Structures are given as structure tokens and as C-alpha cells.
Structure 1
């Protein structure tokens, strides 16, 4: 009898154990629109206090005990989704982007009110607030003015009924020719950009040396992309051509002799002027194996002021910092400093294996108050020095829109502070976020003076590119104070022009001066510089010729050595722990290849340069056209890992449409 009683008890116990057995559920969270992984997405067991989040590849793992459980997937900017676990242990989820709509937005202009079908609250933009500024379309003007507004076009006017206010590339009103108020005045808000005086052609006989600091920043390209994606051509000074060129990966040969950097050159005709030559100088830094990376001492310096309280600012910062946290190892350490009206330490230096502590500190951040950027930087440097790792990677990573308004916040004040702290051997990486009040000029200065790099993060894909795909290059320096000096052979070169790098020009004496600060290169980084050359004997408007001198007679030298050389490239660099430079030399022969026989990288870089000159409306664009830049880029996509070259082609096509339209903006 006892045996008969025990049998059902055992069966019941086994059933109970089976019901409570732990199941390991795993999968990916991706965007339904682009099918890309979503890092930092929240995965929660519905009705329970158990949650996790996806890693940098969008992968999650979570344990459940109830076979009837449901998982809730959510992330900022996407619609939450609840999915029953069911019987499968593998579960991939595609989240749909959240298009927040408002019930009604009324645009008040001169003479006519137009309504657009939207959802939530009402906001009015008064016309007097937009006087004497550039003309753009109403949707473009509204974007970013009201949090959460997304304006969708309905019933576009016929071409004949459209206004022809023109948004020119210098952000001035060209002329209004029609009375239809379909376009409203607007501008780029309170954004600031440093003025660029474009490099011109230099006579090689008078000035045979060209010297500049290597720069591997790429912030300008992603910022330009943001403008074009919003239906607006960028301000001229937002376009730094060298940063656009260097946004892309190039297949250059790395060093093989133990040096940290190798050099490659290539010569052909310039596509925008076939009578001119184009010389590409490429640098490739050695790649450090990820398993051999030195331990890191990082300080996340995060702007939590009121200006960061927008969807494309602090929420995106949090997601980006979680991506970076996901890369940390047990031997790495990170501290978090925040600043608003004051600066504070929200996470003491913590080892990289305590990810939950780091995630919690990031999740608890909220925005509000003024912006004491100077105080934040001072505290961040203090924390970095206290936890300094000898022979390690010591770095401050600053996330901000650059809108400092309390304390030492002028460009000069910040430059003085960073220059003073530079001797601490703690580079400063700047990540810019947001729009409307974006301070590009300030952040470019900070990164330059702080011996660091500068990136503009406009979406999660860009955050992933900067912090994951290019993690080693962004975080780990392999060569510092890298300088290039080119000597041109006047027997072959009549005049030359460096494309871009206006902010990186050096005096010829600075090349041999080891105390002169210059650019740095990270693990695996590539740098491309382009020179446009007017060959000797070519007569055109860019030959940079002058009348013969009266008091100085040129010396006749019938026997010129090195007559087959076009130019000599010298570059200096220092090892990260050294104060003394080394120099390498490469000679460029006068043997140009036909343009179509050059490498895909050469052709693609020339297409990006041509596009940049068109966006700047450069006086040196000569015969450049959008069609030609697009055609060259299409034929030079190559493998296109990540699809960035295809994206460039799409942007160039959009910019062409904007430039050719009557208003330089899209209609509504």
C-alpha cells in the first residue's frame, strides 16, 4: 500500500521539477527596417523582475522556468514587442521603428496656414523668429524644433505652384521669385562651425615644401550625412573634405618591418581636370591583435545638461556607452563622470567584468540643468590620473553636444585647459551628438588639443562603427605626432594644392621639431591625403605664376638630378611612449597611371573629394559634377564591407537632387 502511495508522489514531484526546469533562451534583436542588430535592447520576462540586454551584436541570453512565459523586447526609438517563448530555445525578434506622430502641428507663415496630419500636441513657429535667415522648406525647419515631431509629406504642390526661394551653399538667401509661401525661412539653429580658408595652388619653385599634421577624424562626414538625410545641404564650413575622405576604409599595405606606420603612393589624372595630376598618399598603421591590447583606464565623461534631453542625444549616448562597455575585459577599468550645472563622479573606477554595475550607472543618468563642461573635464582628468595605467591605454571619452554655458566654456578657455592637461598622457576622444545647438567648432578644438579623435554619432550604426568595428583604432594609439612633409620637384611640378587639411597645416620648420604637437594614429587606422598637381608646362588659371623678379634673377641649372621624380614624401612619427621621432621617406616617380587603371580606393577617394568640393562650392572644383562623382564611386565600390560606399552613392544622389532643385530642400 505504501508503495502505491509513493508512486504518484514521485510522479508529481518529477512533474513539478520538469515544470521548473531552467531553459536558456537566446537569440538576436534586430531592426525590421534595416535588419541590423540593436545593441543595448532590453529583454524582460513579462511579470517578473528578471531582465537582460543585448550585446554589441544584438545577441541576448536569458533563463526562464515557465514554458508559458513571454519576453518583452524594447529599445528607445522602436516599438516594444511581447513574444511568447513557446517550445523553441532560439528566438530572433525584429523591432519596428517608432514613428511618434502628433495630432496637429500648425505652421504659421505669412499669408497662408498649412496643416499636416500628425499626432499629440500643438506647436507654433512664429515667423518673426525666422527673419533674415536662410530659406528652407517648412518640414526641414520644423525638424528638431519640437521634440518627437516627424513631419510626413501629403498632397505635395505642383511644380508650377512651388516657391523658388533658394538655399545656397553659403547659407544666404539668393532670391525669392514667387509668392507661394510653401517654403519658410529657417536655419541650422544655433550650430557653430569654424571657418575654413580653402587651400589654394602654390608655386612649387617658390615654395617647394608642403607640411601638415596627419588627421584621422571623420566627424564631418557623418554630420554632412545628417544634413542631407534631413533634406538640406550642409553649411559650407561643416564640410571638411579630408575628414570625408578618411571616413572610409582603404585596402592599404601595413608595415612589415616593425615600424608602426607604412606609406603608399599612387598617381593619375585628376577627374575634374584631366590636365592636372592627382597624387594619393596613403598611411596604414599596424594592427594590434585584440588579445594583445594593453589594459585600459577609461573615463566616460557624459554631458547630462538640459540640452541633452532629446531622443538623439542622451538616449543615444547611453546606448553607445553600453556598446563600449560590452568591449571591456576584466583587466580594463572605467569610471563615469557627469556634468550639468556641476560635475560629479557617478561611478568610481570599476573593472570591466562588473558590467551590471556599469550598465546601472549609465541607465540612471538623466538630463537637466546648465552645462559646466570645464568642470567636467577637470574632474575627468583628475580621475584618469589617479587610476593611470603605466604602459596601458589611458583615455577620456567625452559625449556631448558641445553646448557649454557655465564656467570656462569659450573655445579659448577650453583650449587652454586641454593644452595644460596634455602632459598627463591621457588622450581625449570626443563623441558629438544631436543637432540644432551642435557646437562642432568647440569639439574639433577639444579633440585636436587633447591628442585624441573626434566622431559625430548620428545613429546607432555610426556608434557601432566607431566603438566596435573600429574599436582598436579609436581607443589604442600606435603612433603619435605623425607629420607629413612633401618636397615637389619644380622640374615636374608647376603648382600644387593639398586637398583639405586646412586646420592641420604646419610650418616647414615644424617637421623636424619634436616638441611640435601633431596628429595620432590608432591600431589599423588608414589615412589618405590628396595633392592636385599642375604639371610643368601646363598653362591654365591655376598655374600660380607670377611676373619675373626684377632684383633676383633665377639661376639656370641645365643639369637637374632626379629628373624622373615627381616628389619626395617624408613622414615623422613617435612611438606612443617616446619623445623622439623617427622618419621614413618615399619617392614618387613621374609615372602616372590612367585613371581607369588605378585602384578602386584611389578612384573612390577622388569621388569623395569631388563631392566634398561640390558641397563647398569650391573655387577649385573646376569641371567637377555630381554625375561624375557618382559614376566614379559606383565603379569603385569594391567589396564595400558594411555598405558605407553604397550609402555614399545614395547621399551623393540626394545632394545632387537638392542642389538641382529650386529650393535645395524637399517639398511638403
Structure 2
């Protein structure tokens, strides 16, 4: 990381014989020894609270990493993200998503640690030339959330989000030997890319809460809030009417684009039931119907139509969506599942091209029960913004496919099981106790903010969850001085509210966050809590969030390797490998 952090690490080794732990980057008087309670579960235990495995400490014989000279490819965008957290809450920009005081963002104009060339922060480097891509990917920089003083605003409210595209986009970039653009990193989508051991409800949604020490700051803790959707067997779901809207423009003329789209759709068709229906719309200069709604019992007809898809022409996404939704309306099944599946690189250069305008087109269709799944393919001129915003307004979710294995995982293992929507307009409100929590920050969900006053306004659009979907939110908390984790006091309360998609009934449930839910020792936390923490920390490092400035990559690599050994899961093995590759790219 930064040279100053290396010096701090060496100093800490000499002084106390342990490695420097991660800190938030802000001066915090609450770390004084005079303020520490004499309890084995206080906010800092009597023996220091953590050993070198507890806080991602780097191995004693391995120095902290120096910044790389050519690690990050900015894709032609000015996105150094040297922003430092402001001491006062940042003023919300005029075009920011609707939110409340908990959605504080750092001032992008401030860059106190930048070098003379404007670079700085974690990645003090010139961007390398991309490998085989044009430099015109489109991502949106939503900034990062600052700490919020609980006495000023104890409420944190946001819409649930099950997207995972940001994580897979990162994997594609690292596999090509460059770090992902800072603005492409959405931490909640990294965390959502993994499965966690949450309580499963018989119907609707369920809340799980736990916590542990924060790798970002010795004096802080993390609280994880998990939401689990009910699981519905394929045999118990209604028939599905799927309309594929496939981008066949010239930009899709590659094996990792249209070739991978065709393979993905073929996988999905094989997983559908005979009484499901499939329709196919393509678009380039204009749109056209390739296949009218056809029962899956006629698989050969559907597979032949997919196989015949050919690329060419410009990209009229507007026309494709209009035709796709018209066809989905004709195929609509009152007793079943109605979905449009958009397969595209997100580019639009004919007709309506603005992501907001395109998203507004489909809002009414979403309200009448036709949900949208957007699946991104390709890189180089990939438009992440369009794909994410369309999924958000279409009451669906956004994923990205970069490999044959990902196509199989998404279209065979996940998409069919989550087709049934079990919760509409789902949102969370967390109320923190200002006598226990001095300040808090939500990691991620920057573009999912909901005004506190709108939590119980059921006309406000929020997030949708399919059967078996999970959502995980991670908060970092600064506890008040002297707070003892052995106390039976409540940190706060989680409220979860959603609408039943079948009868329109609204349900609200709540769950207390107790101090005893938070473990003081890292080793005492559940392994899937540690997994969520590692993934969140990785995302914060990749987007150069100042709160992650003192995270040592060597220690993050070691912790990810430990998890991979303990959990014996292919996805976690891959995560550990990606973190290791990212560390090498950082130098």
C-alpha cells in the first residue's frame, strides 16, 4: 500500500511485536487506552483483543506492498478516486439517487493525497494500455458512503439489491491482467456473489444478524445483516413465459459475446419445463421477432432459432426492448412467471440511447408483472450503467457472464430457481441507538438509497427478490466509549418491509441487533461472516476507498487463503486466487 503505511507497520512491529491492524483513515480519540473497558468482550479486550490472524495482519517476514507502476486500466476515464472522507457530511449532488442523511459521499473535488499528476491514493500509477479492448467502457462512479453521526441521523434506509454483475466484471478484468476501473466496483454486488448460511423462512423473507471486529479500524466493529428469500421447488412454481431479447448488432460479433449468449440460452432452455414458453426477439438496426411464444416441449424448434442468430448492424436497444415487451405482453400468463431476458453488451447507438430514458420505458411493464433480467456479455465497449439501471427499473436483477462456467452457473443453477418473485419493493431501515453507536457507515448500496420518510411509503419502488435470493449488507460501526459487548443492550433494530407479488399484501418484520451478536474475536465469528468481510474489504480496496487505505494486501491474501482451505468451495478458491492476482498487480 502507501509508503507511510509501511513505516507504520515497521514501527508497530518494533513497539509491540504485532502487525499493524487496519484503520479507518480518520483520527479517532476513542482509541485511547483510558477509554477501554476491562472486559473480555469490550470494544477492545484487555490483552489487545486481536492476534495477528484477527485483523488481516501481514506475515511478519513479508513487507507491505508498494504500489504498482502499471496496475490499473482506467479505460480512458478520469477515475483516480483520490477522494478523502470529509469531516462534515458531504452535500448530496443534485443528480444523486434519492437518499437521506445516511448516504454521505466524499467530495470528489478534494484530493489531498494526490500526486502532482493527479494520481494517488492506493494506485499511484499510470494506466496501462488495454489488451484487446477499446477504451470506452461505461461505468458510473457513485462515490462512497461516509460515516454518519448517529445523534444526527439514527436511521439508515435502502432498497434491497440482488445484482452480482460488478463482481463478475472484476473477474474479467483481473483475468486479463489489469485491475478493474474504480467506478466499476459496487461492494454490495461483490458480497451478493456468494452464498451465506442464513435462516430460511417458510414464506417471504427472513432477517439474520451477526457481527465481529472491523479490519478497517481496531476500535470499530462490523455488523452483517442478511436477508434470505423463501426457497421454492421448481415443481411448485407456475409456468414461465420467457422472452429473450438478444443483441445481434455488429458489436456482438465475438465468441465471448453472441457466441456465449447462444450457449447460455441453450443451457436455460434445457432447464425449463415443457409447459414453459420461450419467445425470441433480436435487434440491430431495427428489431424483429425470430420466434413467437413456443412451448418448451418443442425444444428443437427453440434451439434451432437460437443457433440461427447472426450478428450485424448498429444497435437499436430501444426498438429491441419495445418489441420484446410487446411480445411478452402477448405471451403473458396470469398464473405464471413473466420475464424478459436481455442479453447484450449494453451498447445503444440508434433510437433512444440514454439509460434513464430506456429504463423509464419499461417501468409500467414492470408494474404489471413483467420483470426484466439483464445479462451482460463482452468488454471493451460494454455499458454497465445501462444494464444495471434497466434491471433496477425492470424489477429484476443484473448479472454478467464472462466464461462458459459462469454461463452454466447462472443459466443452469441459478436463473431457473430464482425466476419466481417472492418479494416486491423490498427495503430495509436500520435504526441505531445513539447511546451505543457513535457513528456508522453502510458499505456499498450507494445507488440504492431510500429516504427515511419513504420506508413505509409503499408507492416508492425498491428491490425485488426471487425465490432463494439472498441480500447481505455490512455496516461499520464506531461504538460509544466504554461500550461493553457483554452488555445486553441493543445496538439497534432492523426493519424489513416488502409486498407479496401475488396478493399485494405488505409485510413488515423486525430484528434486534444486540451487543451480544457481535463477537470481539475474529476467530469466534462464523466462517461465512469472515467470507462476507473479506469480500467487502476486497471491494473497498479495489475502489480505493480511503477507509481501506491501511488494509495490507498480503494479510488479505492470507485470510482469503485460510477461508479457502477451511470452507472447501470452488467459488471461494477462485476468490482467493483473484485477491492474490490483484495483490500482484498492485505490486
With structure 2 as the length reference, what TM-score do the two structures score? 0.76
Q: How many residues align?
A: 471
Q: Which residue of 1 aligns with 2:357?
A: 413
Cα gap change, 1:394 to 1:640, in 2 (>3 Å) = farther
Matched, 1:574 2:518: no
- Distance in 2, matches of 1:378 and 1:610, equals 40
Name the CA shift for 1:281/1:340 in 2 (closer, same or farther; >3 Å): same
- Alpha-carbon displacement from aligned partner over 1:489-540 (angstroms, at most 9, x marks no partner): 011000000000001011001110111111111111111100000001289x
Residue in structure 1 matched with residue 231 of structure 2 by the alignment: 287
Kindly report which structure 2 residues correspond to 1:198-597, keeping only aligned pairs within 5 A, or say none: 198-255=144-201, 258-537=202-481, 564-591=489-516, 592-593=518-519, 594-597=521-524
Q: Relative to structure 1, is the Cα distance of residues 343 and 170 closer, same or farther in structure 2, using a 3 angstrom cutoff?
A: farther
Alpha-carbon shift at residue 172 of structure 1 (Å):
9.4
Deviation, 1:472, is: 3.9
What secondary structure does 1:617 align onto?
coil
Q: 1:131 to 1:286 in 2, by over 3 A?
A: closer
Question: What RMSD over aligned residues (CA atoms) do the two structures have, in Å?
Answer: 2.5
- Offset at residue 252 of structure 1 (A): 1.2
Q: Which residue of 2 aligns with 1:69?
A: none
CA distance 1:600–1:185, change in 2 (3 Å): closer
The residue matched to 2:326 in structure 1 has which SS? helix
Cross-structure match for 2:94: none
Q: Is the 8 A contact 1:604 1:632 kept in 2?
A: no
Rounded Cα–Cα distance in structure 1 between residues aligned with 2:122 and 2:315: 28
How far apart in 2 are the matches of 1:249 and 1:430?
A: 21
Residues 442/573 of structure 1: CA separation in 2 closer, same or farther (3 Å cut): same
Greater displacement, 396-405 / 418-427? 418-427
Q: How far apart, CA to CA, are the structure 2 residues paired with 1:447 and 1:364?
A: 27
Q: 1:654 aligns with which of 567, 581, 584?
A: 581
2:51 is aligned to none
Is 1:609 aligned with 2:536? yes
**Aligned mates of 1:131, 1:290 — CA distance in 2:** 45
Distance 1:304 1:172, change over 3 A: farther
- Equivalents in 2 of 1:477, 1:209: separation in Å? 28
1:321 CA drift (Å): 0.3
Mapped contact 2:316–2:350 kept (Cα < 8 A): yes
- Taking the aligned partners of 1:317 and 1:394, their CA distance within structure 2 comes to 20
Q: CA deviation at 1:262?
A: 1.0
- 1:78-121 per-position Cα deviation (integer Å, ceiling 9, x unaligned): xxxxxxxxxxxxxxxxxxxxxxxxxxxxxxxxxxxxxxxxxxxx
Superposed, which structure 2 residues align to 1:42-121 within 5 Å? none
Whether the 8 Å contact between 1:323 and 1:467 is mirrored in structure 2 is: yes
Corresponding residue for residue 632 of structure 1: 559
Unaligned runs of 5+ in 1: 1-129, 136-165, 177-182, 540-561, 661-668
Q: How does 1:122-141 map to 2 (within 5 A)?
A: none
The secondary structure found in structure 2 opposite 1:348 is strand
CA distance in 1, matches of 2:536, 2:581: 17
Secondary structure in structure 1 of the residue aligned to 2:297? coil
Measure how far apart 1:424 and its partner are.
Answer: 2.7
Structure 1 residues 263, 173: CA separation in 2 closer, same or farther (over 3 Å shift)?
closer
CA distance in 2 between partners of 1:448 and 1:225 (Å)? 22
How far apart in 2 are the matches of 1:604 and 1:659? 22
1:190 equivalent in alignment to 2:125: no
Q: Distance in 1 between matches of 2:561 and 2:206?
A: 28
Deviations 1:391-447 (A, max 9, x none): 311000000001111101111320221224322310010000001000001111100
Q: Is the 8 A contact 1:169 1:616 kept in 2?
A: no
- Deviation track 1:192-214 (CA, whole Å, cap 9, x = no partner) reads 00111201100001100000001
Q: Is the 8 A contact 1:288 1:472 kept in 2?
A: no
Higher relative contact order (CA 8 A, sep 6+): 2
Residue 342 and residue 410 in structure 1: after superposition, are their counterparts in 2 closer, same or farther (change >3 A)?
same
| Cα distance in 2 for residues equivalent to 1:339 and 1:641 | 43
Task: Please give the alpha-carbon distance, in whole angstroms, between the structure 1 residues aligned to 2:560 and 2:124.
Answer: 32
Does structure 1 conserve the Cα–Cα contact (< 8 Å) formed by 2:226 and 2:473?
yes
- Normalising by structure 1, report the TM-score: 0.67
Q: Which residue of 1 is the match for residue 546 of structure 2?
A: 619
Distance 1:172 1:590 in 2: 37
Q: CA deviation at 1:463?
A: 1.0
Does structure 2 conserve the Cα–Cα contact (< 8 Å) formed by 1:213 and 1:506?
yes
Q: Match of 1:32?
A: none
Shift of 1:284: 0.9
**The residue matched to 1:636 in structure 2 has which SS?**
helix
Report which of the two structures shows the higher radius of gyration computed on alpha carbons: 1
